[in-house]
Amino acid sequence: MSEILEIHGGRPLSGEVTVSGAKNAALPIMLASMLTSDEVVLRNVPNLTDVHLSIHLLEHFGAEVDFVKDTLRIKTPRLIATEASYSLVKALRASFWVLGPLLARGGAARVALPGGDVIGARPVDIHLEALTQMGADIHVKHGVVMATAPDGLRPAELDFRFPSVGATHQVLMAAALTPGRTVIRGAAREPEVIALADFLVALGAEVEGAGQSTIVIEGKESLHGCDFHLIGDRIEAATYILAVVATKGSARIRGFDPEHLGAFLDTLRDMGVEYDLDSDGISILSATSLRPVHVSTGPFPQFATDIQALLMAATSVLDGVSHISEQVFEGRFSHVSELARMGAQISVEGRTAHISGVSQLSGAYVEARDIRAGAALCIAGLAAEGVTQIADPQHLRRGYTDLETKLQSLGARVGHKVTDAEDFMFSGC
């Protein structure tokens, strides 16, 4: 028996939907809760597989965790472990970020190299170089990072050769519990980095410059608990926006800060989408006379790599040829072959995909190979004529809370089914 997500496409979406808290803010903030022995209360937490994996990880280290609705309470009176085996971290790349908090609070860590979505080369050498400069003794053997700082970490001035989000998270957490002044130059500027910095300030650390390329952290001997509200998920918002655009609908998407989607909103304007913004979201007014676009992904504030696949699905039904260049991760085109099964006309040259829009996609059996590829197939399925069946929809639960319910609130005909593989592989869809 296999699970599929079945979509009956071909109708414009309309209505209103509220996005959940940002997954990419929730995960580092959850791990940063280990920096204090006091209780931390997090609100607007998304109910995702990756959040539950992080809870399991926190409990392994000694945290007491209570998750009710969208409120998460975490208290780590003491660390009972400093090792995260491959069996713990293989499903979640963000689990590698425990290295900094473990070193800062416990003075030692053994963490397996991470898993999660397999998207090109995502090395962690910037993390390790930064922590080494902060005084950690680090060795990598048989896929495990072994790190010690028996005398504690020390503040440092760090120059990142690339604005790595993960490395910026790692150093922010480690530096917050390291007395003295740590400076990160070349830091990532994503809204989720700002959210983590705001959380660390709520714990009692001093952080200046988050959202800029230079961040200054004044670490403390100890940190205290706090009550913190997570930002809305900008990638989830972009997903629903593009679903509405691809189906030529109109809707309101709320619960996020539009300033977190600047480059994406510029692209929508270039496409000819008519919309209004306010402090809590966006209203898509018209998406009927659209133009192709040329987009290149990059670190914030450039066009987000997590939206690349979503945009490709939407542009596959635009008149004309769009060009999307992936400059962040190698090989992030797993969705291309699946979109082609639905009739999309896409060719790839190196890091650039050329999308020749077609008048109509057709429903098909396709496979979600990672979170955003799965979301792209949802968008394509909503725009397509007929029935689309998406295998391995569990990937979507890693990044989207109540996806099915929210799409239904916009008028989509979508639902999960459990069936024999042969029933849908040869159903003619």
- Domains in the chain, please, with CATH? 2-20+232-425 (3.65.10.10), 23-229 (3.65.10.10)
Residue 93's pLDDT band, with cuts at 50, 70 and 90, is confident
Residue 18 one-letter amino acid: T
pLDDT confidence of residue 421: 55
Among 34, 38, 80, 35, which Cα is nearest to 60's?
80
Burial class (CB in 10 A: 0-12, 13-18, 19+), 402: middle
Q: Give me the pLDDT at residue 422, please.
A: 54
Q: Give the pLDDT band of residue 160 (cuts 50, 70, 90).
A: very high
First to last CA, the chain: 18
Would you state the pLDDT for residue 331? 76
pLDDT score of 419: 77
Q: How far is Cα 27 from Cα 50, in angstroms, rounded to an integer?
A: 8
Residue from 31, 46, 40, 183 nearest 114 by CA: 31
Region 178-198: mean pLDDT is 99
CA atoms within 13 A on the CB side of 363: 20
pLDDT for 423 beyond 90: no
Question: Taking the mean position of all CA atoms in its chain, how far away is CA 97?
Answer: 14
Pairing mode, strands 14-18 and 39-43: unpaired
The structure's pTM equals 0.95
Q: Please compute the mean of the pLDDT values over residues 157-173 and round it to a whole number.
A: 97
31-88 tens-digit pLDDT: 999 999 999 999 999 999 999 999 999 999 999 999 999 999 999 999 999 999 888 8
- Per-residue confidence (pLDDT) for residue 87, from 0 to 100: 87
Q: Contacts for 413-416 with beta carbons within 8 Å, 24 or more apart?
A: 413/7, 413/8, 413/9, 413/11, 414/5, 414/6, 414/7, 414/8, 414/378, 414/382, 415/5, 415/6, 416/3, 416/4, 416/5, 416/6
Tokens 């996020």 appear where?
A: 256
What is the reported pLDDT for 330? 82
**pLDDT class for 89, splitting at 50, 70, 90?**
confident
Reported as a single tens digit per residue, the pLDDT across 205-242 is 999 999 999 999 999 999 999 999 999 999 999 999 99
Using an 8 Å Cβ cutoff, are 84 and 95 in contact? yes
- Cα–Cα distance for residue pair 42/40, rounded to 1 Å: 6
User: In this predicted structure, what is the pLDDT of residue 113?
Assistant: 87
What was the pLDDT predicted at 88? 87
Segment 356-391, tens digit of pLDDT: 999 999 999 999 989 999 999 999 999 999 999 999
